[in-house]
Structures are given as structure tokens and as C-alpha cells.
Amino acid sequence: MEYYNYIKALHLIFVITWFAGLFYIPRLFVYQIEAIQKPEPDKSILGKQFKIMTKRLWFIITWPSAILATIFAIILLILIPEWLQQSWMHVKLGFVVLLFAYHIKCHYIFKELQNDVVKWTSHQMRIWNEGSTIILFSVIFLVIVRDAINWIYGVIGIFVLAILLMLGIKLYKRIRSKNPKA
């Protein structure tokens, strides 16, 4: 147990860098999708640059962070196995599975865009970008509040957050259509 705080700190550091990657990669996908729609030479120049940026972010920061966050989480669960008997941890692990599903879907999108296959619009990718935000809010509130959480208010809060995010995206789209440089 003397190493608990170090392991917890490392777990949190890699969770933060993992989320940083998951927040930024869909944003780069948005830019990459928009670059594909530009005329030459912008299309080629920007497309090449965004491919390099996404590849570095994905393989140097995001994937290693996901793996290291998971390793340190497993070590924490080995150190404190009682957590596995608590309902908040079951819910948290459910969100972690959801986060990995989101991560893997981002990986498929990454691979498609690296091959110039575009199946998403930039607007759809902006909405997709909020998935990791909703998971992050859910996990943070769950871990901090734990058993004291009122599940009804928690679920309502997540839906309110999702609605506010969608309204923000719609507002941004409206502003951007009036002013394309925004």
C-alpha cells in the first residue's frame, strides 16, 4: 500500500492524457474532413499535414495513455480488491468499456481518414467529439460522489449535459454558416 498514491497519480495522469487525445483526435478529424473538401493545392497540403498530426497524436499519446491508464487501474484493483464489490465501481467499469468502444471507433475513423475514406461530415464529427466529454463527466461524478450519488439526478444531469452540448453545436453551426471564418 505504500505505493498506492504513486500508482493512483500515474493512473490519473494517463487518464488525463488519454482523454486529451480523445478530445483532440475528433477535432483533427473535423479539420481533415474539411480539408478534403478544399480545392488544390490546399487539399493536398492540409490533408498531408493532418494525417501526420493525427498519426502522431494517436500513436504517441492516445494509445499509450489508454494502455498505461488501464495497467495502473488494474494494479489499483489488485491493491484494493474490495472496490470490485462496490456498485459504483461496476458502473465505472461499464463506462470504461464504453470509453474503449469510443476509442476503438475513433481508431476505425482514423484508419479510414488515413486512406482518404470519408464517411462522416464535419458536423457529424463535431457531434461525435462530444461522446468522450459525456463519458468523462459521468466517470468523474461517479468516482467523486460514489455511493452518495442519486442515480436519478445523475442520469438527468448527463442528459442535460448532452442536450446542452448538442445545442452548443447547433448554435456554432448557425454562427459558422453566417460567418464561414468563425
Query: What digits encode the pLDDT tens for the residues 120-174?
Result: 998 889 889 888 888 888 888 778 777 655 666 776 777 788 888 888 877 877 8
- DSSP one-letter string for 140-170: HHHHHHGGG--HHHHHHHHHHHHHHHHHHHH
Q: CA dihedral defined by 48, 53, 56, 61, rounded to 10 degrees? A: -160
Q: What domain range is 61 assigned to?
A: 4-178
Domain count, the chain: 1
- Assign 120 to helix, strand or coil: coil
Q: Which residues are annotated as a binding site?
A: 11, 92
Q: Per-residue confidence at 182, pLDDT binned at 50, 70, 90?
A: low
Q: Mean pLDDT in the chain? A: 89
- Confidence (pLDDT) at 181: 67
- Residue 39: pLDDT over 80: yes
C-alpha cell at 169: 453545436
pTM above 0.75?
yes
Indicate the annotated binding residues for heme: 11, 92
